[in-house]
């Protein structure tokens, strides 16, 4: 252990301090001294020693009382206490151990014995601390993993639900949209005779109707198209069929996605590509990866908005088994409360009708289905970075190993 | 309205979907285009109509209670392989599409039918194929008449 163990001595006798102090210092401990019980309690809370040597007989507050208070206080309850006493009779020892002490040493001290007992207690304390730290780390890991699992579980049940809803919505949408399209054709047939009727002036409202009906039909078409888009988004989100995976060149996918998004990026987003030409192939579905990249590019373009911006796309090997893809824009970035929700289905910051809130949750699903990970970093005013990792395609050589 | 014909025989269409609004839509649409079309909402009734009614083309929904549209497709093609069958479905799954293909469907469309023109042209293609077979049969009949005296 690299850190010097701290030993606090609480004793009204300066000679005890002197003797124990020299010994402990030689043994590599940092020594702290208190002459009174109250002073000792304060120092214990402030300095968190690894061991307390406590005199039984002290003026003002006796050692047993100090020990009881140490054990009652959360900040000091786990610090081991060794009693020092001039008396070596049993009732005293029992009272001391009952007050929560771990050991009881009688004066006059035997140097070897005292140091052995101190070392033992310091070691036990340090091991206990380490155990507590491991436990805490383990608990944090379990909590983190549980949260991830709950999230994944929620996404799965939402996926099943979405698939059902998508199919149920498809049928009514079919006959709503179909009838609108029919009406449009019917209208073509009757609008001309109606227009001439209105010109004759016999029905004053017909002129208005002739003007309005095409707009009404357009509005209904637009509305149903929007429903159609949401439903196809839901279906993609539900992803009933796992994609067929093969050897895929990530750089080619990035280039392909850039072609598809060119019309959205070219006016105001400058794209800086930093693609590693030696990047290993990954195991995946090119179509799905392009879908993810397109989604990230469109989001970056939307985030950058009207102003001129920059999108940096980097690919590089992350490790022997993983490749890394980064998308970094210099848009407005986002606060933590939005960052926490961006992978949630139906969460969107885009205006009504422009985003379904499914793009990133679908991307998240795709990357996880690939055995990879997608994370985001952002701060307001500092743009957004998406980090993706994907597993490298295993070659025959690897599998023979 | 002008009726669509193949060699002076009026073309008969059958629309099968458990939702009346959808068969209504298809009937309205193809009636407008001049086809003789019947809508039916029960797949078993559809099978009876096929066996009685000399239909040329059937438009069949896949997910229906009573009898699956894929099952109906198989029955239609077994009864008369010459009947063209166009599948429509809201359940876009690989299984549905592959099974439809295996059972000999002539086309598959996904709901919502955002573009009725596509369904129309698919029916048009089916008609040209039917016409082709009719022409071949007619040619064969003419040939038979010529050969008859010798035989």
Residue ranges of B 94-113 with Cβ closer than 8 A to chain A = 94, 111-113
Strand partners, B108: B87
Q: What is the pLDDT of residue A315?
A: 95
> Does B98 or A161 have the greater pLDDT score?
B98
CB spacing of A171 vs B116 below 8 angstroms: no
ipTM: 0.70
Structure tokens at A266: 């070219």
A196: helix, strand or coil: helix
Q: Smallest Cα–Cα separation from B27: which of B49, B59, B2?
A: B59
Q: Does A171 contact B19 at a Cβ distance shorter than 8 Å?
A: yes
* A163 — pLDDT class (breaks 50, 70, 90): confident
- Residue B75 in contact with partner chain A when CB distance is under 8 A: no
> CA-based diameter of chain B, in Å?
58
Instruction: Indicate if the pLDDT at residue A401 is higher than 60.
Output: no
Peptide bond into A260 cis (omega under 30): no
pLDDT of residue A177: 92
Q: What mean pLDDT, rounded, does chain A reach?
A: 85
Residue of B nearest to A240 (CA): B93
Mutation site for A-interface testing, chosen from B96, B99, B109, B111 by largest number of A Cβ within 10 Å? B111
pLDDT reported for residue A241: 53
Q: Is A167 in contact with B90 (Cβ distance < 8 A)?
A: yes
Q: Nearest Cβ partner of A177 from B24, B93, B112?
A: B112
The DSSP call for residue A56 is: S
Retrieve residue A212's tokens.
């309005």
Three-state SS at B57: strand
Q: What is the mean pLDDT of residues A173-201?
A: 89
pLDDT of residue A239: 60
Burial string for A120-133 (b: 16+ CB within 10 Å, else e) reads ebbeebeeeeeeee
Residue A6: closest CA among A31, A37, A36? A31
Nearest CA in chain B to A239: B93
User: Does residue A391 contact residue A321 with C-beta atoms inside 8 Å?
Assistant: yes
Counted residue by residue, chain A has a size of 401
Mutate to test the interface with B, among A162, A170, A175, A229 (most CBs of B within 10 A): A175
A145 pLDDT more than 80? no
CA distance B51 to chain A (A): 28
- For residue A88, the model assigns a pLDDT of 64
Q: Do A182 and B113 touch (CB under 8 A)?
A: no
Say yes or no: B128 contacts chain A, CB-CB below 8 A: no
Instruction: Confirm or reject contact between B54 and chain A (CB < 8 A).
Output: no
Backbone angles phi, psi at A158, to 5 degrees: -65, -35
On chain B, the residues whose CB falls within 8 A of the CB of A235 are: 92
What are the angstrom distances between the C-alpha of A53 and each of A5, A43, A81, A86, A120?
Answer: 13, 13, 6, 14, 13
Residue A400 has what pLDDT? 45
Q: Just give the CATH number of B5-147.
A: 3.40.50.2300
User: Residue with structure tokens 């850039």?
Assistant: A258
Residue B1 in contact with partner chain A when CB distance is under 8 A? no
Smallest CA–CA distance from B30 into chain A, residue: A182
Burial (CB < 10 A; 0-12, 13-18, 19+), residue B81, is: exposed
Residue A347's contacts (CB-CB under 8 Å, 6 or more residues apart) are: A341, A357, A360, A361
Å between B130 CA and nearest CA of chain A: 27
CA A41/CA A179 separation, integer angstroms? 84
What pLDDT is attached to residue A115? Answer: 83
Q: pLDDT tens for residues A242-285?
A: 667 889 999 999 998 898 888 888 778 899 999 999 999 999 98
Q: How confident is the model at residue B105 (pLDDT cuts 50, 70, 90)?
A: very high
pLDDT band at A352 (very low <50, low <70, confident <90, very high): low
Distance, in angstroms, between B150 CA and closest chain A CA? 56
pLDDT digits (tens, 9 = 90+) for A42-91: 999 999 998 999 998 888 888 889 999 999 998 998 898 998 887 666 67
Cβ separation of A167 and B19 shorter than 8 Å? no
Mean pLDDT of B12-20: 94
Please judge whether B22 and A178 are an interchain contact, meaning their C-beta atoms are less than 8 angstroms apart: yes
| Between A154 and A24, the higher pLDDT residue | A24
- Cα(A159)–Cα(A368) distance, integer angstroms: 14
Q: How far is B147 from chain A (nearest CA, A)?
A: 51
Asked if residues A365 and A375 have their Cβ atoms less than 8 Å apart, the reply is no
| Residues near B150 by beta carbon (within 8 Å), at least 6 away in sequence | none
In chain B, the residue whose alpha carbon lies closest to the alpha carbon of A222 is B114
Would you say how long chain B is, in residues? 151
Does residue A130 register a pLDDT over 80? yes
Question: Counting one residue from A and one from B, how many pairs have CB atoms under 8 Å apart?
Answer: 55
- Say if the Cβ atoms of A167 and B91 lie within 8 Å: yes
pLDDT confidence bin for A8, thresholds 50/70/90:
very high
List A6's β-bridge partners, or say none. A30
Determine contact: B79 vs chain A, CB below 8 A: no
Residue B149 has pLDDT above 60, yes or no: no
Average pLDDT, chain B: 88
| Per-residue model confidence (pLDDT) at position A254 | 94
| Strand (E) or helix (H) holding A61 | none
What's the pLDDT score for residue A41? 93
Nearest-by-Cβ selection for A171 from B28, B90, B92: B90
**Domain residue spans in chain B?**
5-147
In angstroms, the CA A202 to CA A94 distance is: 115
Q: Would you state the pLDDT for residue B46?
A: 95
Of residues A71, A37, A234, the one with CA closest to residue A155: A234
In a 13 Å sphere around the CA of B84, the CA atoms on its Cβ side amount to 21
Q: Quick one: DSSP state of residue A109? A: P
What local confidence, expressed as pLDDT, does residue A306 receive? 77
SS3 B12: strand
Contact A333, A272 (CB under 8 A): no
Tell whether omega for the bond before A350 is within 30 degrees of 0, i.e. cis: no
Decide: residue A149, CB within 10 A, 0-12 exposed, 13-18 middle, 19+ buried: exposed
Q: What is the pLDDT of residue A197?
A: 81
Residue A200 makes CB contacts below 8 A (sequence gap 6+) with none
Reported as a single tens digit per residue, the pLDDT across A301-337 is 888 887 888 999 999 999 989 999 999 999 899 988 8
Distances (CA, A) of A31 to A9, A53, A113, A265: 7, 10, 18, 67
What are the residues whose beta carbons fall under 8 Å from the beta carbon of A102, sequence distance 6 or more? A80, A81, A82, A121, A124
Of A194-198, A200-204, B132-136, highest mean pLDDT? B132-136
The pLDDT of residue A286: 87
> Residue B135: how many CB atoms within 10 A of its CB?
12
Contact status, residue A40 vs residue A63, Cβ threshold 8 Å: no
Q: How far apart are CA A43 and CA A100, in angstroms?
A: 19
- Return d(Cα A359, Cα A342) in angstroms, integer: 9
């Amino acid at each position: 252990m690299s850190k010097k163990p701290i030993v606090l001595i609480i004793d009204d006798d300066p000679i005890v301090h002197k003797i124990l102090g020299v010994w402990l210092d030689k043994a590599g401990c940092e020594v702290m001294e208190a002459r009174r019980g109250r002073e000792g309690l304060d120092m214990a809370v402030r300095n968190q020693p690894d061991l307390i040597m406590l005199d039984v007989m002290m003026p003002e507050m006796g050692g047993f009382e100090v020990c009881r208070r140490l054990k009652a206080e959360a900040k000091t309850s786990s610090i081991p206490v060794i009693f020092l006493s001039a008396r070596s009779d049993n009732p005293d020892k029992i009272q001391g151990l009952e007050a929560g002490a771990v050991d009881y040493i009688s004066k006059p001290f035997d140097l070897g014995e005292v140091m052995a007992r101190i070392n033992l207690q310091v070691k036990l304390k340090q091991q206990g601390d380490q155990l507590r730290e491991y436990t805490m780390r383990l608990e944090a890991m379990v909590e983190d993993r549980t949260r991830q699992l709950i999230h994944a579980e929620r996404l799965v049940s939402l996926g099943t639900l979405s698939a059902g809803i998508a199919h149920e919505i498809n049928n009514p949408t079919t006959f709503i949209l179909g009838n609108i399209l029919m009406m449009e054709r019917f209208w073509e047939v009757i609008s001309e005779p109606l227009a001439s009727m209105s010109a004759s002036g016999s029905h004053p409202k017909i002129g208005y109707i002739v003007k309005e009906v095409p707009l009404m039909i357009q509005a209904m078409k637009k509305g149903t198209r929007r429903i159609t888009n949401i439903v196809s988004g839901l279906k993609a989100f539900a992803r009933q069929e796992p994609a067929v995976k093969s050897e895929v060149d990530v750089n080619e996918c990035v280039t392909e996605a850039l072609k598809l998004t060119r019309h959205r990026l070219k006016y105001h987003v400058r794209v800086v590509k930093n693609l590693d030409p030696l990047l290993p192939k990954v195991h995946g579905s090119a179509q799905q990866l392009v879908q993810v990249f397109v989604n990230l590019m469109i989001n970056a373009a939307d985030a950058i908005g009207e102003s001129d911006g920059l999108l940096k796309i980097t690919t590089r090997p992350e490790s022997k088994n993983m490749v890394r893809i980064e998308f970094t824009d210099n848009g407005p970035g986002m606060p933590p409360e939005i960052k926490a929700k961006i992978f949630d289905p139906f969460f969107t910051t885009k205006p009504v009708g422009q985003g379904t809130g499914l793009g990133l949750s679908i991307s998240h699903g795709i990357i996880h289905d690939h055995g990879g990970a997608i994370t985001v970093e952002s701060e307001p005013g500092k743009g957004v970075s998406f980090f993706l990792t994907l597993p490298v395609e295993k070659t025959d050589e690897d599998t023979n190993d | 309205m002008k009726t669509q014909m193949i060699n002076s025989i009026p073309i008969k269409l059958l629309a099968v979907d458990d939702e009346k609004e959808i068969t209504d839509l298809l009937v309205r649409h193809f009636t407008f285009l001049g086809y003789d079309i019947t809508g039916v909402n029960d797949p078993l009734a559809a099978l009876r109509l096929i066996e009685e009614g000399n239909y040329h083309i059937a438009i069949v929904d896949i997910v229906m209670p009573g009898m699956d549209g894929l099952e109906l497709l198989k029955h239609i093609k077994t009864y008369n392989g010459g009947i063209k069958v166009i599948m429509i479905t809201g359940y876009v799954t690989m299984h549905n599409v592959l099974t439809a293909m295996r059972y000999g469907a002539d086309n598959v469309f996904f709901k919502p039918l955002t573009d009725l023109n596509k369904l129309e042209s698919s029916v048009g293609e089916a008609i040209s194929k039917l016409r082709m077979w009719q022409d071949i049969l007619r040619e064969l009949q003419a040939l038979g008449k010529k050969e008859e005296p010798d035989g």
